[in-house]
Amino acid sequence: MLNWYISTIMALLLLGFQRFLYKVAAEKNCNTALTSFSFMGTVALVSSCLFVARHETVTNLYFLLFIALVNSISFLSSTMTTMEALKRISATVAYPIIRLNTAIVVIFSIIYFEDRLSLSQVLGILLAMVVIVVLVRSEHGEHRVVNENVRLGFILILIAVISGAVATVSTKFAAMYTSKLGFMAVSYIFSTGFSLGLRKKLETERANPDHRNALLIGLCMGLANFAGFYAFLKAVAIGPLSIIISIVGMYFVIAIVLSAMLYREKLSPRKIGGIFLTVVAITLMKM
């Protein structure tokens, strides 16, 4: 058990930092597709090189291509809608709502994968859901006026919730039945091509004309994601998805704390309480 739990915590920290970089990209008004292209291309290159260097093989190429395509489309959709939403809504609002996809994944994994949980782990999962509700409610009073831009932001968040759940479930199947590095390489190669094709469509007058920021931030995203996603794959290959996704799904707390520190987004007592509950929930889910 210790192996999957350690991998899960590593994934939590690394993916939390990666999501904070979404906020950085939004603050610098980077072209979303170009940032995604740099991000996806970095992961595709690193995972492809390691796949070849380690002489890994794929037993079912058709399954790999199919599951990688599903993951690519859903993950890219989640990534791009999240970055676009963050241009309209604060990170302290967007991330907790997006993590509602954790509930979808937990229900699916308990029904389909028949995850068996201890009482403390069930309490930990429920507490993780409470954290999301607490942080969402903490923002209720700060956004009473809803304009078209904010409304579009919430529509984008809804898309991110659904697509994020699909991406997580497809990752579980890939971790169980095919090469981890092969899956990462093919999935991110697809995502790189898709994001490049969308670059012009997402170019706006407000976008930062200096593409160096987008490329550099995307590179950092890619390196953090490669390490974090590989740790996540290792965890879900041997551990219960319902627990792992509940822990990793709280990465938004890291993004919120970093956003508050660097961009002075308000940390109310309720948000501080939510962060404390996150620590408690993670501890319970280890037992």
Average pLDDT, the chain: 83
Q: How confident is the model at residue 170 (pLDDT cuts 50, 70, 90)?
A: very high
Q: How confident is the model at residue 209 (pLDDT cuts 50, 70, 90)?
A: low
Overall pTM > 0.85:
no
Half-sphere exposure of 35 (CA within 13 A, CB side): 31
pLDDT of residue 201: 64
Alpha helix locations (H) across 113-205?
119-138, 148-177, 180-197
Which residue has better confidence, 82 or 216?
Answer: 216
Q: What is the mean pLDDT of residues 241-256?
A: 83
Q: What is the mean pLDDT of residues 14-27?
A: 91
Query: Are 81 and 196 contacting, i.e. CB atoms less than 8 angstroms apart?
Result: no
Q: How confident is the model at residue 253 (pLDDT cuts 50, 70, 90)?
A: confident
Q: What is the mean pLDDT of residues 64-74?
A: 96
* pLDDT at position 123 over 90: no
Map tokens 């109310």 to a residue: 268
* pLDDT at position 145 over 50: no
Q: Residues 175-196: pLDDT tens digits?
A: 999 999 999 999 999 989 888 7
DSSP string over 25-79: HHHTT--HHHHHHHHHHHHHHHHHHHHHHTT---S-HHHHHHHHHHHHHHHHHHH
Query: Are 247 and 12 contacting, i.e. CB atoms less than 8 angstroms apart?
Result: yes
